[in-house]
Structure 1
Amino acid sequence: MIDIHQATREDAGEILTLQRAAFVDEAQACGDPFILPLTEGLERVERLLGQADALVLKAVLGTRIVGAVRASVAGSHGVVGRLAVAPDLRRRGIARALLTRVEQELRTGFPQVSALTLFTGAQSVDRLYRERGYAETHRERVAEHLVMVHMRKELVEPC
């Protein structure tokens, strides 16, 4: 059974290792081995785990971290990022569970947040995001070979 908990600074190394393993496919798909999830350093992940306006969740199977997601908050806006699942455990609902839980935690811990955004590589737009209520807002070409898809989910129904 998968358990989801808030990550701690002690988890930084394992989360970074998981992140790198999970994003290799993304790097290969876009032909860029230097995407940020693969080049981010341990110090940055440790720093993020200590920030009050950030949330990092881990999915644990036994003693192994098998998934992670992070979110940050700026005013009424939340940004979800680095949704990662161990490659050998994909397609088992871990990403869905992490995304659901991070949204719940943001609603509870940051009630001022009225919308969530995320971005992903164009080749990685997954129906998971659409099923969870995220809609594409725009695409951004960040390099000749790399297009990012920006998505948004409203947490508060418009009047």
Structure 2
Amino acid sequence: MPHREPIALTVADAGELMTVQRAAIVSELRAHRDLDLPPATETLDEVRAVFDDPVWSVWGIRDEGRLVACVRIRDDGDAVWIARLMVAPDRQGQGFGSALLAAAEAHFPASARRARMSTGSAAEHQLKLYARLGYQETHRIPQSGYEVVYLEKVLDD
């Protein structure tokens, strides 16, 4: 069983985070027939800038030293925005995404009452995972041949 404790990532992890992100997004690029999804087009400077923005925290899971999963959390006061939950392709389906999302929830600010996220409508595996973890669809917005699905979870006090 791999070690699944999340760690706070730093700007020193930006290149490795970008590598995981680029590898993990390939299946969604294919499914959505859209090569311009933000995780695929984000530059290394843009990734580094996230670490300099105090409203964002970046978490990851390492297995035997290798970054295998990562997620970004933005503090919006009474809500948090979950972005770029990514798992390396060779580690998908092994519980890393679930473990990282659950651990991230445990680190949400005390003021957070809701957690929000979005994904593409063709991301069926992710939609099932998010539903299983208590996230409910709130709405969809059409986007270049697919829909962006917005989800929300009410957090316990």
TM-score, normalising length from structure 2? Answer: 0.93
| Unaligned stretches of 5+ residues in structure 1 | none
Q: What is the CA–CA distance in structure 1 between the aligned matches of 2:94 and 2:103, rounded to whole Å?
A: 16
The residue aligned with 1:142 is 143
Q: What is the CA–CA distance in structure 2 between the aligned matches of 1:44 and 1:114, rounded to whole Å?
A: 28
Q: % of aligned pairs identical?
A: 32
The Cα RMSD (Å) is 1.2
The residue aligned with 2:155 is 155
Whether 1:7 aligns to 2:6 is no
1:136 counterpart SS class: strand
Structure 1 residues 5-154: aligned runs within 5 Å: 5-106=7-108, 110-125=109-124, 126-143=127-144, 145-154=145-154
Provide runs of 4+ in structure 1 moved above 2 Å.
none
Q: What is the CA–CA distance in structure 1 between the aligned matches of 2:85 and 2:72, rounded to whole Å?
A: 7
2:49 counterpart SS class: helix
* Code of the aligned partner of 2:137: E
| Unaligned stretches of 5+ residues in structure 2 | none
Q: What is the CA–CA distance in structure 2 between the aligned matches of 1:140 and 1:20, rounded to whole Å?
A: 24
Q: CA deviation at 1:115?
A: 0.2
Alignment coverage as a number of residue pairs = 153
TM-score, normalising length from structure 1? Answer: 0.92
